[in-house]
Structure 1
Amino acid sequence: MPSIRAALIWAVVAGAIVVSLALAATSPLLAWRGPIYVVAGFAGVVALALVLLQPLLAAGYLPGLPVPRGRRVHRWVGPALVGAIIIHVAGLWLTSPPDVVDALLFNSPTPFSAWGVVAMWAAFAAALLAALRRPLRIRPRAWRLGHTGLVVLVVLGGVVHALLIEGTMGSVSKLVLCALVVSATAVALFDLRAWMLLTRRKPQDRRL
């Protein structure tokens, strides 16, 4: 049973990511697009896939990657996520600079642009906070609150951004991937919060 459960978890996660990438690769919307635009679009899909992996790694939900090992991978995936976002935005900048400028200034007429910019800056801030945690000796509670708040913005902004775009990702696969991102993040945050409350109460229980 454990092996079946592990295989099922990996199949769902890998399937959602691979199907989304495959549908994006075969989308008819790419027929007249240049290579830079295609790379930028794929970087966006990869970024959303990495957002799905992050809570699964941090909470140790992926079979074969318990919490200590999962969090080490989580720390490596963070910079990869930032890199994918940079490639996504840089590629769109090269293909249409005015649109990117409007988006960054929140002047774009397309609602999805603002959500994408919010998710981008939140991801950058979360990565910067993680990098400065030890040098600045940020207290664990303050770091968790800050990192969690930024992660929620990344997920919320990224999911709304993806759902509002009529792009290369298939509508069903996009909906499934976004639902998995929201579900994985919500469950991981709930479990980690419950674990912190439990460990906080144990010393008090001993004194009683």
Structure 2
Amino acid sequence: MPRPRAVLIWSALAAAVAVPLVVAGMSPLLQWRQPVYIAAGFAGIVALALLLVQTLLAGGYLPGLPVRPGRLVHRGVGVALLLAVVLHVGGLWLTSPPDVVDALTFTSPTPFSAWGVIAMWGVFAAAALALMRGRMRVRTWRLGHSAVVAVVVVTSVIHAVLIEGTMGTVSKLVLCGLALAALVRVLIDLRVWRLLVRRRA
């Protein structure tokens, strides 16, 4: 890939990840908030950004990181994503346990909570599937992993869009849009639907 194009892709990705964090850091909503709550919020933003990075790695779209070498980075980013989710939920638990309990039991009055919980369990399921990769048929594993990842990305985007928090509206929508676009592109390029057709056949 020509160097200018590679620089453009990496610059666009860096901007998509950094801008929401910068905007959130300048938000007046952070005033009077506990440090743990702020850290939990930023962990959620980082998790959303890592979803985009993970999807791009899975498709081998990042210059200098083709599919095979990118798999090692993919695993590392997956661990970081899992930790970010744990920090996000754990921080919210420390600041307001009743709200987290309501979210986990799907009794929260805020509609974004349920989507966040589904996304969280999806991340855990994706991590479990990653650990069981060598014990499953390749076709079954790819189909299951792709399905779980699709659920994680979609529910995470809905969760983020519904929250009126520190993330700027434009930067948040751009990041969410890129995550969805990357997901669709990967599913198309990897022809995941063919695995489903073969399985039914």
TM-score range, shorter chain: over 0.9
How many Å apart are 1:4 and its aligned residue? 1.4
Corresponding residue of 1:173? 171
The letter for the 2-side match of 1:93 is W
Deviations 1:7-28 (A, max 9, x none): 1111111101110110111110
Contact 1:103–1:117 (CA under 8 A) maintained in structure 2: yes
How many Å apart are 1:119 and its aligned residue? 0.4
Deviations 1:142-188 (A, max 9, x none): 00111011001100110000000001100000000000000011101
The letter for the 1-side match of 2:119 is A
Contact 1:59–1:70 (CA under 8 A) maintained in structure 2: no
The alignment-based identity, stated in percent, is 65
* Mapped partners of 2:102, 2:25: distance in 1: 28
Corresponding residue of 2:85? 85
The letter for the 2-side match of 1:7 is V
* Mapped partners of 1:55, 1:161: distance in 2: 18
How many Å apart are 1:70 and its aligned residue? 1.0
Deviations 1:126-152 (A, max 9, x none): 111111222xx2000100111011001
Paired residue secondary structure (1:124): helix
* Mapped partners of 2:164, 2:54: distance in 1: 25
Q: Would you say 1:143 and 2:134 are equivalent positions? A: no
Aligned pairs, number: 196
* Mapped partners of 1:192, 1:74: distance in 2: 16
Corresponding residue of 1:123? 123
What is the alpha-carbon root mean square deviation over aligned residues?
1.6
Q: Would you say 1:184 and 2:161 are equivalent positions? A: no
* Mapped partners of 2:153, 2:57: distance in 1: 15
TM-score, normalising length from structure 2? Answer: 0.94
Q: Which of residues 155, 158, 163 in structure 1 aligns to 2:156? A: 158
Q: Which runs of 5+ in 1 are unaligned?
A: 201-208
The letter for the 1-side match of 2:84 is A
Deviations 1:26-64 (A, max 9, x none): 110001101000000000000000000011111110111
Corresponding residue of 1:203? none
Deviations 1:77-101 (A, max 9, x none): 1111010000000000000000000
Q: Which runs of 5+ in 2 are unaligned?
A: none
Paired residue secondary structure (2:191): helix
TM-score, normalising length from structure 1? Answer: 0.91
How many Å apart are 1:73 and its aligned residue? 0.6
Paired residue secondary structure (2:63): coil
Report the structure number with the largest CA radius of gyration.
1
